[in-house]
Amino acid sequence: MKKTVLSVKTLAVIVVFTVQYARAQKKAPQLGKASIEEVINAMTPEEKALLLVGPGMPGYAGLTPLEGEPDMRVLGAAGGTAAIPRLGIPETVVADGPAGLRIQPKRKNNTNTFYATAFPVGTLLASTWNPELIEAVGKAMGEEVKEYGVDVLLAPALNIHRNPLNGRNFEYYSEDPLVAGKIAAAYVRGIQANGVGTSVKHFAANNQETNRLTVNAHISERAMRELYLRGFEIAVKESAPWTIMSAYNKIDGTYASANKDLLTTVLRDEWGYKGYVMTDWFGGYPGFENILKEGVVSDVPAQIAAGNDLIMPGMDAQRALLVEAIKSGKADNNAINTSLKRILGYVVETPTFKKYKYSNKPDLKAHAAVTRTAAAEGIVLLKNEGSVLPYTNTTQTIAVFGDTSYNFIAGGTGSGDVNEAYTVSLIEGLTNAGYKIDQDLVTAYTPYVKEVVAKEMKRREENGGLLAVPQRLIEMHLDAGMVAQKAKTDAAAIITIGRNSGENEDRHIENDFYLGQDEIQMINSVSEAFHAEGKKVIVIMNIGGVIETFSWKDKVDAILLAWQPGQEGGNSVADVLSGKTNPSGKLTMTFPVDYNNHASADNWLGLPANNPTDVYYKEGIYVGYRYFNTFKVKPSYEFGFGQSYTTFEFSNLNLSATTFKDEVKVTVTVKNTGKVAGKEVAQLYLTAPAQLEDKPALELKGFAKTKALKPGEQQTLTFVLKAKDLASFIDAQSAWVAEKGTYTVKVGASSEDIKLTKDFTVATDIVAEKVHDTFKTEEGFKDLENK
Ligand code: BGC
């Protein structure tokens, strides 16, 4: 037998080969088993880019997948993070949006349905002034997120209502950052209690839809910090959202998604935020029209370096750019690894990573009850002359006018829309509650509304589908003789005024903020005819944002602001009309007499007027009631306003100290002095000394809602004021300063209905918080001052 002799050289080759083979065979570090650092160290530049730039938007905007494209795990989701199986990283799924989970309800070759509950829109949720209730709504919503296999809900949205015409105000909460922040925090806590995440959006100053991808918002640091960031600060600190979505717009010249002041200095360094930031969809691109243009790519390395960890929904060109930047050393390696760490830190917390077996069967029945109750609590009673409401006459017929009565609007359009199984119309709600409806009007309206709705749907289809902005329906012509006849035979009239809007376009002044001629005619003819017969007229406002009320409110007897109350809307309104629910909603924004009464009206949308590139927030901090109260402009309905079927008395305003040390505790007693049970919102405003800085006449610093108080029952509510609550942002000091002097605590039922006041003093200026010098405005303009 021939002996095989191996040379040293051959032996060496074999050893090297064996070692290499063994290494290759050794599994790459697996997420969840190895540390996150080890996983990141094992990543190729391509894998890093795959995780930092989202995998795209299969079936664009959640429509059915394109020809040949596979079904997504959750059809209709807005995107997610990519899977890297080699490293044990699963894909995760994110979906819209604020009024409930927005996914497609039907799937190919699947007989099951995937409807989600349409909860009330943001304006309504905020109008409850009830964080506890909002947390319960969030819990229900989050259960649907989890049970449909989604990891993050792209909500809540809490941009400030800078101006009533913003097309997305319905998704947002308020003109006041305390209300916005507290409601958002409650919402996040509720959703995340399910073990799924939220994405608080749009950070920050996304206050208009016109040119939203490119517009440059020039805002003073004071207005930024006191108004446009404050709500986010509260939400971050009080609810730790898993993710944050940066806004489309630029702030002082830099895209929000590439703004280091915003995403790192303020969000991380000052507020201590630990989650990750994602862009809004195609954020950082110069306009939707440029998204697919060759050579046009958002500056991904700059976005990541600024602290925007995830680029959404993710485009090949963005990934390629990032790979090149990583390989050439142009990308900031530390920033890349930090972002990867944040995203992987999230991935391991997701139900997907934990292999949660979602049922695709959330408890829709239970959630219908949640949305019905929540909506009823956010409905605002604006007018109730002669106590026409609650309306309890179920024996005689009611004449129901207005197209929207027959086509009730559950929520707005765009990403804030929800695919619900049904919407309870006003007619259905009234019928369910036992009211008798005039059937002649039902017969006349039904075919008319069917036709105008079909036309409108066709128009939307031809104008961009999902992103087409809704137009209101033109009211059916009412024959004067017919209305007079109905006034004789029916016991009362209800008129619904409807408005809808959505992303991509702002609302209009004429025929939108102001009523159209057709609507004015309807209100005139119905109220004249019914009043001539001594009968009452009730208006229901089924709207997402503020409309003009001053010119017509005296013509009707009662006004119920139902907002867009979700899928149980008709039932919720009937609950309030009938008195089953005593209204306790309050306005979280001002209803002006005239559109131009808003200080922002002068600078709204920006310049040049025909295609704005730059918007100047010259009104500074004087947004909403801060302006109306300070400059003594009388609104139609003020911030904080809302009536009840009972009456309340405020008493015993007590402060724990008359000289401020670390805090002042404020207590007040609210008593139900009427005949039915009800809840009241006590609002705590503060008037601060104004030596260092111009200050608004008053600012909301706390609010609390009573439980349902029985007649004669009372409750004592407690508020705590800390130094930061007293402070204003003093730009020259880069600090929140509570200046010395006398502070007046004003507790009331609205910003104009102050019931009790008491003073305390601050002996010397207190620096409540020192911060960084950020948001340098490019060119100087002086904020509006009260001087
Ligand atoms: C909206 C976001 C939304 C995203 C994903 C964008 O157009 O501005 O609010 O979450 O789309 O659908």
Query: Domain extents for the chain?
Result: 2-64+71-86+93-347, 371-587, 647-770
Query: Where does residue 271 rank: exposed (0-12), middle (13-18), buried (19+ CB within 10 A)?
Result: middle
| pLDDT tens profile 231-274 | 999 999 999 999 999 999 999 999 999 999 999 999 999 999 99
Q: Is 97 in the pocket of ligand 1 (CB under 6 A)?
A: yes
Ligand 1 centroid – CA 184 distance (Å): 17
Residue located nearest, by CA, to atom 4 of ligand 1 = 281
Tell me what the mean pLDDT of segment 625-647 comes to: 98
Q: What is the mean pLDDT of the chain?
A: 94
Whole-number percent of the chain with pLDDT over 90: 89
Please give the single-letter amino acid code of residue 741. Answer: G
| Pocket flag, ligand 1, residue 201 (CB < 6 Å) | yes
pLDDT at position 68 is 57
- Quick: pLDDT tens for 356-383: 999 999 999 999 999 999 999 999 999 9
Q: Which of 96, 261, 280, 417 is catalytic?
A: 280
Ligand 1 and 416: CB distance under 6 A: no
* Span from the CA of 348 to the centroid of ligand 1 (angstroms): 24
Q: Tell how far the Cα of 434 is from the centroid of ligand 1, in angstroms.
A: 41
96 C-beta closer than 6 A to ligand 1: yes
The pLDDT tens digits for 36-90 are 999 999 999 999 999 999 988 765 433 345 555 556 789 889 999 999 999 999 9
Whole-number Å distance between alpha carbons of 615 and 460: 29
Q: How many CB atoms lie within 10 A of CB 85?
A: 10
693 pocket-lining for ligand 1 (C-beta < 6 Å)? no
Mutation pick for ligand 1 pocket among 96, 158, 413 (CB with most ligand atoms within 8 Å): 96
Q: For atom 6 of ligand 1, which residue has the closest CA?
A: 281
Q: According to the model, what pLDDT value does residue 707 have?
A: 98
Strands 663-672 and 648-655: antiparallel
Q: How far is the CA of 83 from the centre of ligand 1 (A)?
A: 22
- Cβ proximity of 603 and 615 under 8 Å: yes
Q: For residue 324, give the amino acid letter.
A: E
Q: Is residue 152 packed enough to be buried (19+ CB in 10 Å), middle (13-18) or exposed (0-12)?
A: buried
pLDDT at 61: 38
CA of 149 to the centre of ligand 1 (A): 19
Please tell me the distance between residue 263's alpha carbon and the centre of ligand 1 in angstroms. Answer: 19
The residue nearest atom 8 of ligand 1, judged by CA position, is 280
Q: Is the CB of 281 under 6 A from ligand 1?
A: yes
Assess whether the C-beta atom of 212 lies below 6 angstroms from ligand 1: no
Q: Which atom number of ligand 1 is nearest to the Cα of residue 248? A: 8
- Its pTM stands at 0.95
CA 187/CA 655 separation, integer angstroms: 30
Of all protein residues, whose CA lies closest to atom 9 belonging to ligand 1? 415
Mean pLDDT across 271-285: 97
How many CB atoms sit inside 10 A of residue 767's CB?
Answer: 13
Instruction: Check pocket membership of 154 for ligand 1, CB cut-off 6 A.
Output: yes
Q: For residues 526 and 484, is the Cβ–Cβ distance under 8 A?
A: no
Rounded Cα–Cα distance for residues 332 and 329 (Å): 7
Residue 171 CB–ligand 1 contact under 6 Å: no
CA dihedral 302, 305, 310, 314 (to 10 degrees): 20
- Between CA 575 and CA 525 the distance in angstroms is 27
Q: What percent of the chain has pLDDT over 70?
A: 95
Residue 8 pLDDT > 90:
no
> pLDDT for 180-203, tens place per residue?
999 999 999 999 999 999 999 999
Is 614 known to be catalytic? no
Least reliable range by pLDDT among 28-32, 241-245, 294-298, 673-677: 294-298
pLDDT at 224 (0 to 100) = 97
Q: Ligand 1 within 6 A of 280 CB?
A: yes
Both tokens of residue 208?
Answer: 């208009």
Provide DSSP, 736-778. EEE-SEEEEEEEESSSS-EEEEEEEEESS-EEEEE-------S
Confidence band of 20 (pLDDT split at 50, 70, 90) = low
Bridge partners (DSSP) listed for residue 540: 496, 560
Ligand 1 centre to CA of 247 (Å) is 10
Quote the CA–CA distance of 301 and 324 in Å, as a whole number.
Answer: 10
Ligand 1 neighbour 78 (Cβ under 6 A)? yes
Amino acid at 601: A
- Going from the Cα of 415 to the center of ligand 1, the distance in angstroms, rounded, reads 6
Over 80: is that where the pLDDT of 9 sits?
no
Q: What is the pLDDT of residues 393-410, one digit of tens each?
A: 999 999 999 999 999 999
Classified by CATH at the fold level, domain 647-770 comes out as Immunoglobulin-like (2.60.40)
Q: State the distance from the centre of ligand 1 to the C-alpha of 740, rounded, in angstroms.
A: 44
Tokens coding 779: 């060119």
Query: How many CA atoms within 13 Å lie on the side-chain side of 657?
Result: 13
Residue 507 near residue 464 (C-beta atoms within 8 A): no
Give the number of the atom of ligand 1 that is nearest the alpha carbon of residue 201: 9
Please report, as a single letter, which amino acid is at residue 132.
Answer: E
CB–CB of 47/343 below 8 Å? no
pLDDT for the residue numbered 460 = 87
For residue 777, is pLDDT > 60? Answer: yes
- Taking 50 as the threshold, does the pLDDT of residue 606 lie above it? yes
Provide the 3-class DSSP secondary structure of residue 565: coil
In sequence order, the 6+-apart residues with CB closer than 8 A to the CB of 351 are: 146, 149, 151, 195, 196, 358
CA-proximal residue: ligand 1, atom 7 (nearest): 281
The reply to whether ligand 1 has any atom less than 6 angstroms from the CB of 282 is no
Q: Is the pLDDT of residue 348 over 70?
A: yes
DSSP state of 17: H
Cβ–ligand 1 distance for 159 under 6 Å, the answer no
The candidate with the shortest Cα–Cα distance to 394, out of 487, 486, 485, 492, is 492
Give the number of the atom of ligand 1 that is nearest the alpha carbon of residue 313.
5
Q: What is the CATH number of domain 2-64+71-86+93-347?
A: 3.20.20.300
CATH architecture for segment(s) 371-587: 3-Layer(aba) Sandwich (3.40)
Among 203, 280, 419, residue to substitute to test ligand 1 (most atoms within 8 Å of Cβ): 280
Distance 667 CA to ligand 1 centre (A): 42
CB of 57 shorter than 6 A to ligand 1 = no
pLDDT at 464: 74
Query: Residues 484, 489, 494, CA angle at the centre, nearest 5°?
Result: 75
**How many Å apart are CA 395 and CA 580, to the nearest integer?**
17
| Ligand 1 atom closest to residue 155's alpha carbon, by position in its atom list | 10
Q: pLDDT for 305-334, tens place per residue?
A: 999 999 999 999 999 999 999 999 999 999
Minimum-distance ligand 1 atom for the alpha carbon of 199: 10
Structure tokens at 344: 């992987």
**Interatomic CA distance for residues 688 and 623, integer angstroms:** 17
Local confidence band at 470 (pLDDT 50, 70, 90 cut-offs): confident
pLDDT at 468 over 90: no
Other Cβ atoms less than 10 A from the Cβ of 59: the count is 18
**What pLDDT sits at residue 438?**
98
Residues 98, 173: Cα–Cα separation, whole Å: 11
DSSP strand pairing (735-738 vs 380-384): unpaired
User: Ligand 1 test: best mutation among 201, 281, 419, 466, most atoms within 8 Å of CB?
Assistant: 281
Residue 2, pLDDT above cutoff 50: no
309 touches ligand 1 (CB under 6 Å): no
Distance 122 CA to ligand 1 centre (A): 15
State which ligand 1 atom lies nearest to the alpha carbon of 102: 12
Range scoring the smallest mean pLDDT among 16-30, 101-115, 205-219: 16-30
- C-alpha 105/C-alpha 10 separation (Å) is 65
CA 284 – ligand 1 centroid, Å: 13
Nearest CA to ligand 1 atom 3: 415
CB 486 less than 6 A from any atom of ligand 1: no
User: What would the pLDDT profile of 92-135 be if each residue is shown by its tens digit?
Assistant: 999 998 999 999 999 877 899 999 999 999 999 999 999 999 99
Question: What does the block give as tokens for 516?
Answer: 């159209």
Determine the atom of ligand 1 nearest the C-alpha atom of 504.
7
Asked if the model's pLDDT at residue 465 lies above 80, the reply is no
